[in-house]
Structure 1
Amino acid sequence: MFNSLPPITRNIIIINVVVFGVFYLLNSSALYMKFAAFYPFSPYFRSWQIITHMFMHGGLMHILFNMFTLYSFGPVLERVLGEKKYLILYFVSGLGAFFLFNLWNFIEVQQIQSSLESFGFDFNAYLSGESVSFKGTAAAILEQQALLDNLKNIITIPMVGASGAIFGVIAAFATLFPDAEIGIMFIPIPVKVKYVLPVIVIGSIYLGVSGNVGGIAHLAHVGGALVGFLLALYWKKNRFRIN
């Protein structure tokens, strides 16, 4: 059954599984930090991370869900779009996920900087590694500490996973085949994919913006879905270019 998959989908799954296995066996946090995707202005960021993070996952359930989803939707798109467009869809969606997620991080960092500086906190000195101190009342100091903790999370917690690229694949499938029906856990009847995708995207936007992330880069999902939708919409309007 696996050998019947078209080559791009099959190879992407193989690479993801192999990379997950290697990192699991090596269990090296230093190596993990070299290839996970950090905020671009973090001292841990390296240029290659914008690609390598797409082949890394945070756990067994994470990779199983992503690869099962790719296994379900990828082959149809690869056969309809052709290998070149499908490959473009996958990787550009992953890049879109990275961009949107870090655009929101950038906005948050600017807000944190503004808030800290309103207390008289020397933000630039802190980023330069200088010793700085909080100013103001006990309540103000607690608020500054909370802001600084949020900043540290943005800088030191990386993004991993193929989810952004996978959401691009799902969005492209929904755009090209809106009336296709899929089964969803806990829903007894099949649901058209054109109804499922908007609910997922709106939910991801809410969770990402509200801060209820639960360790999940929800806005990365939105970025991948947006790119997948736009690419598929363009190709759909230019049908003669598919294949």
Structure 2
Amino acid sequence: MFNNIPPITRNIIIINVIVFIIANLLLQDKLVGYLAAFYPFSPFFKSWQVITHMFMHGSIMHILFNMFTLFSFGPVLEQSLGQKKYLILYFVSGLGAFFLFNLWNFIEVQQISNELQQLGFNVNAYLSGANVGYSGTSEVILQQKNLVGSLNDIMGTPMVGASGAIFGVIAAFATLYPDAKIGIMFIPIPMKVKYVLPIVIVGSIYLGISGNGGGIAHLAHVGGALVGWLLARSWKKHLYRFN
């Protein structure tokens, strides 16, 4: 059965599983600092992370859900788009996810930095690695500590997973096959994908902006889906033309 999966989808799944076993089971998360994606202005960021984070997963359920979703939608797109376009779709969607997620991080960092400066904290020196102390009243110092904590969370929290790339695949599938019906957990009646995807995207935008995401990079999903939709929309009008 596994051999019947088209080669690009099959190889992506194999690489993800191998990396998961090595990173999470054999090396026990020692590769997270190298392969997960950090905020681009974080001292932990490395250029290759924009690609390698797509093959890192935080838990067995995380990778199982992502790979099952890719297995469900990927083969159809690989066969209809061709291997080259499918590969472009997957990785460019992953890059789009990284970009939108960190664009929002950048906005939040700017807001936090402005608040810290107003409180008299030298945020530029702190970000450059200097040992900056807190000063002011006890209330001001508490505010400074809370804001610095939020800043450190953005700088030090890694982004992992293929979800952004896979959301691009799902969005492309919905664009090319809008009337296809899919089953959704907790909903017994299959629904057309053209109705399901917008609901998921709106929910992801709300959760990503509100900060109620529960540790999930919801805006990365939106970024991946946006790229997948744009690419599929561009390719759709040429898809069934014959030379």
Residue type matched to 2:151 in 1?
L
**Matching of residue 151 in structure 1 with residue 151 in structure 2:** yes
What is the match of residue 221 of structure 2? 221
Alignment length, in residue pairs? Answer: 243
Q: Relative to 1, partners in 2 of residues 1:143 and 1:242: Cα closer, same or farther, differing over 3 Å?
A: farther
What is the match of residue 67 of structure 1? 67
**Matching of residue 197 in structure 1 with residue 197 in structure 2:** yes
Q: Following the alignment from structure 1 to structure 2, what is the Cα–Cα distance between the partners of residues 121 and 88?
A: 44
Deviation sequence 1:198-226 (CA, Å, 0-9, x none): 01111110001011121111100000000
Deviation sequence 1:36-88 (CA, Å, 0-9, x none): 10111111111110000000100000000000000000000000000000000
- My pick for the range that moved more, 32-41 or 61-70, is 32-41
TM-score, length of structure 2 as denominator length: 0.96
Q: Following the alignment from structure 2 to structure 1, what is the Cα–Cα distance between the partners of residues 131 and 47?
A: 29
Shift of 1:139: 2.1
Which structure 2 segments of 5+ residues have no match? none
Q: Relative to 1, partners in 2 of residues 1:128 and 1:241: Cα closer, same or farther, differing over 3 Å?
A: farther
SS of residue paired to 1:51: helix
Shift of 1:241: 6.4
Shift of 1:134: 2.2
Deviation sequence 1:111-145 (CA, Å, 0-9, x none): 11100000111111112222222233322221211
Shift of 1:29: 4.0
What is the match of residue 10 of structure 2? 10
Regions of 4+ moved over 4 Å: 240-243
SS of residue paired to 2:184: coil
TM-score, length of structure 1 as denominator length: 0.96
- Percent identity over paired residues: 72
Q: Following the alignment from structure 2 to structure 1, what is the Cα–Cα distance between the partners of residues 65 and 234?
A: 28
**Matching of residue 174 in structure 1 with residue 178 in structure 2:** no
**Matching of residue 98 in structure 1 with residue 98 in structure 2:** yes
What is the match of residue 231 of structure 1? 231
Q: Following the alignment from structure 1 to structure 2, what is the Cα–Cα distance between the partners of residues 94 and 51?
A: 8
Residue type matched to 1:158 in 2?
P
- CA RMSD, Structure 1 to Structure 2 (Å): 1.4
Q: Following the alignment from structure 2 to structure 1, what is the Cα–Cα distance between the partners of residues 92 and 209?
A: 23
